[in-house]
Amino acid sequence: MKTSVFLEKLQEELEEKQMLNRDTKLKDLENYDSISLLSVIAFVDENFNQQIDPDQFKNMETVSDLMNIIGLENFEDE
């Protein structure tokens, strides 16, 4: 998946008004709460056919961290 598409889709999934970039800190987002975690899980499952281990959420601060969890090999335009 192209990184730019990923960022757009993730922004839509999280229902955020601001555009996301790789350094965006998830916890700083306006609507980010425990429900958002479920949205992220659904998003990754639907788009990458992967299930994230929720333990990894503890250390996930930025969008870039999420991309690393999914696996950078899944993204183009690196």
Footprint on this chain of other proteins (rule: CB under 8 A): 31, 33-35, 37-39, 41-42, 45-46, 51-54, 57
In one-letter notation, the amino acid at residue 25 is: K
Q: Which is nearer to other proteins, 38 or 76 (CB)?
A: 38
Min dist CB 47 to other proteins, Å, is 12
First-to-final CA distance of the chain:
11
Of the candidates 39, 37, 72, the residue with the CA atom closest to the CA atom of residue 56: 37
Min dist CB 77 to other proteins, Å, is 27
Min dist CB 61 to other proteins, Å, is 16
Whole-angstrom Cα distance, residue 52 to residue 29?
20
